[in-house]
Structure 1
Amino acid sequence: MTNTTRRRRLTALLGAACLVLAIPLSAAADPVSKPGGPFVPPAEGDPNRAAILSADDVERELLALERRSKGAMQLDVVGQSGEGRPLYMATIGTGDERVWVQGRIHGNEPYGPDAALAFLKTLVAGGQHASQVLSEVTFAVIPMYNPDGSEAYIRQDTVHRIDLNRDWGVDQDIFDQLNAVRVQRGQNPLPQSTFDNYTQLRAVESQAFWYAFAEFRPHYMVDIHHQGTYYAGDTDDMTTFSVGISLDELMLSSDQWDTVRRMGVLAADAAGRHGAVTPTRYPYINIPEGVVSAAMLNGPGPEGEYADWTPRGAMFFESRGGIGQKSRGYLVKQNVDALWAIVDAVADGSIDTVDADRWDDILPRGGFLSNQAKFGY
């Protein structure tokens, strides 16, 4: 969405919002969700970290894949973390469609690197399927966005202690659009001080990856996360995989809204084919300062510049909490299967034929599950 398009939509939203603002603020509903963001809660215990890839492990795997690819995969260091660790991005493919995949932006959500590396290994290994996809699609893969937080096993970076998925750029137009949407949804507008307190690409990791995004200009983005453990809707089943959209429909163009829902349908269908997986739809959130959110809104860069590029669709995956060796395999696999479903549909063009309205048919994520013993975890 260009700045001009966003301004046109903002004008329409503000006009509608003025009508709603006639309602006293005391009568406005509370926000639908007050997300702290996807995370593995401490209540679920300290995981067995022997099953979790370290920053050094990821580096070794990436270097090995680069050698094995014989030039097909390019490994770049796009910057350094706050503690001086390399920030790696692998690119592979020759196709016109461009897909961005990132993992472990939250350091205590560990299996994004596993899924990203498993996906890369299949691409590097070649074969008819991979070769066909690589002729249609070019990939940028960031297995470990937050290496410092990963080593410390904390959600944030270690220098500023800020959530890197709340650190991308939001300008005044986007903030005004957010408030117009909130008012239309019956929520209280946020005070201007909220905008003033946005971190705005403060961390060096955010800056490095924003410039990488601006250069790569992806059409599609997938961000791999973990959440706690929840029921699937009102059932007694445990959900192991949720698909999420990080922005309100009214923040997006109609094409973006349709595309991101199609991505979610494809991902949920693919993950759900595994017998151990019950996919769900992540609860409503609207966080323009998140990475894939700001990307879809053409948020500003570190120096106030603009990429003038917006992906057609960008979404996040959530694996259940309760990290450990026993369930590691299928928790990783469900992400890889979901990713491949989206990628295959992008490669052959069938993504535009998916029924976007089936998004509403995906079971909503249910209540928090504090006792996993009934499931043997």
Structure 2
Amino acid sequence: MKTSRTVAALSLAVLLASGAAAAPAVAVGEGPNYGGNETINTSILHTYDKMVAELKKQDARQPAMELEVIGQSVKGRDLYLAKYISDPDNPTILYLTQQHGNEQLTTEGALEYIKHLGTGKTKGVLDGVNILVVPMLNPDGAMGDVDFPLDGYIADGGRTLTRANATGTDLNRDHVAKIQPETQALHENVMSVYGIDYMIDLHHQGTQSERDGELVSGSILFPTTPNADPAVVEGSKRLGAVVFDAVDSTGWGHLGRYVGGSAETISRNGIAVEYGISTLLFEMRGMSDNTNESAVLGQKSNGYLIKQTVTTLDATARAIADGSIDTADTSFWDTLAEQTTRDTE
């Protein structure tokens, strides 16, 4: 276990330091998939308690950060919001992770980015943008503390991660009815309280999605409900343009256009309509746990996916802070191919 942690930490450190120099074949291309050949060790990921400890440590260290409890999960775990509000009149972006408990590397990236906000790496950014981060909206699923069977899950390390919350509900289908306490907390104590202009909802998808014959490192999509205001959709497309330019140009990133529905129960659509917020879905490649082998990515890829999250958050915050998002070129959407699923047979 100690060796696994050390290897993962060294891999991440190398990737974070190397930028675009990371090899495309490792980061995107052809793997590594799980395929029954690796141990998917969840012990290298933050548990809920370790995530909370890290948030509290950063809150104590960073004068600009404020940590708020916005509610509780079904099992009574506190749900956290990390806030950086330097000027209420600044534009505000919300980063939301882990609505699905088995999609954790975006949370790992969000924690890494929060640490960056306490260093000189992001100097001046907070003068022009307010940043909100809700990490791990579904802590019960992330800890496998659920009221349904856990048979067939692949991950090892004493911890199973489930898509649904403790009641078996998909939180990302609860943004109209708002029945679950996690979605209630998000809407009542974040969406309705802060003047949010942009939101990126970070998820994970399966491992076999490809664009132009190459497996993607992630995919993006704006609101597709016909009820979204065209100006809101245009803002969402600009947000996507910033992400695409930042990630797809690296040499290790390769993004596709996600194929998603128009239901407003999904946060990307429902939040855009209800609050007039420009929203972007970002689906990273591969999940941390699943019952389907083709959905789980080998943990050797963890480092680049965490780096991809940090790159996404950093680029969008900077673009909003300096105003360059207002002139982001959205024409790439006209030619960005919808991803397809690779035939593995």
> Which TM-score tier does this pair reach, normalised by the shorter chain?
0.7 to 0.9
| 1:210 and 2:187 correspond | yes
Distance, in Å, in 1 between the alignment partners of 2:228 and 2:297 is 34
| 1:281 and 2:257 correspond | yes
Render the CA deviation track for 1:260-294: whole Å, top value 9, x for unaligned: 11111211121113322211111142120122322
| 1:265 and 2:241 correspond | yes
Aligned-pair distance for 1:246?
A: 4.0
Aligned-pair distance for 1:121?
A: 1.0
Aligned-pair distance for 1:231?
A: 4.2
1:292 maps to which residue?
A: 268
Among 40, 55, 59, the alignment partner of 1:62 is 55
- Indicate the SS of the match to 1:99: strand
Among 69, 72, 94, the alignment partner of 1:77 is 69
Q: Is residue 48–residue 323 contact of structure 1 (8 Å, CA) maintained in 2? A: no
Distance, in Å, in 2 between the alignment partners of 1:310 and 1:256 is 6
2:276 maps to which residue?
A: 310
- Indicate the SS of the match to 2:193: helix
Distance, in Å, in 1 between the alignment partners of 2:317 and 2:306 is 17
Q: Is residue 262–residue 356 contact of structure 1 (8 Å, CA) maintained in 2? A: yes
Q: Is residue 223–residue 236 contact of structure 2 (8 Å, CA) maintained in 1? A: no
- Indicate the SS of the match to 1:362: coil
2:307 maps to which residue?
A: 333
After superposition, the CA RMSD in angstroms is 2.1
Q: How many residues align?
A: 284
1:360 maps to which residue?
A: 334
Larger radius of gyration: 1
TM-score of the pair, normalised by structure 2:
0.77
- Indicate the SS of the match to 1:91: strand
Change (3 A) 1:66 1:324: farther
Q: Which runs of 5+ in 1 are unaligned?
A: 1-40, 170-199, 299-308, 372-377
Change (3 A) 1:42 1:333: closer
| 1:342 and 2:316 correspond | yes
Alignment of structure 1 residues 1-377 onto 2, 5 Å: 47-69=40-62, 71-95=63-87, 96-125=90-119, 127=120, 130-152=122-144, 153-158=161-166, 160-169=167-176, 200-211=177-188, 212-235=190-213, 237-248=214-225, 250-298=226-274, 309-311=275-277, 313-321=278-286, 322-368=296-342, 370=344
Change (3 A) 1:168 1:43: farther
- Indicate the SS of the match to 1:226: strand
Change (3 A) 1:167 1:46: farther
- Indicate the SS of the match to 1:217: coil
Change (3 A) 1:42 1:278: closer
Q: Percent of pairs identical after alignment?
A: 31
Q: Is residue 109–residue 225 contact of structure 1 (8 Å, CA) maintained in 2? A: yes
Render the CA deviation track for 1:197-219: whole Å, top value 9, x for unaligned: xxx11111111111121101210
Q: Is residue 166–residue 291 contact of structure 1 (8 Å, CA) maintained in 2? A: yes
The code of the aligned residue for 2:311 comes to D
Q: Is residue 274–residue 334 contact of structure 1 (8 Å, CA) maintained in 2? A: no
Distance, in Å, in 2 between the alignment partners of 1:246 and 1:297 is 9
Distance, in Å, in 1 between the alignment partners of 2:117 and 2:337 is 32
Render the CA deviation track for 1:300-354: whole Å, top value 9, x for unaligned: xxxxxxxxx421x111111111434311111111122122222211111111211
Distance, in Å, in 2 between the alignment partners of 1:50 and 1:310 is 39
Q: Which runs of 5+ in 2 are unaligned?
A: 1-32, 145-160, 287-295
Q: Is residue 103–residue 144 contact of structure 1 (8 Å, CA) maintained in 2? A: yes
Bigger Cα displacement from structure 2, 98-107 vs 86-95: 86-95
Q: Is residue 245–residue 284 contact of structure 1 (8 Å, CA) maintained in 2? A: no
Render the CA deviation track for 1:79-101: whole Å, top value 9, x for unaligned: 11110111011101314111101
TM-score of the pair, normalised by structure 1:
0.71
Q: Is residue 260–residue 315 contact of structure 1 (8 Å, CA) maintained in 2? A: yes
Aligned-pair distance for 1:136?
A: 0.9
Q: Is residue 92–residue 198 contact of structure 2 (8 Å, CA) maintained in 1? A: yes
Distance, in Å, in 2 between the alignment partners of 1:43 and 1:208 is 38
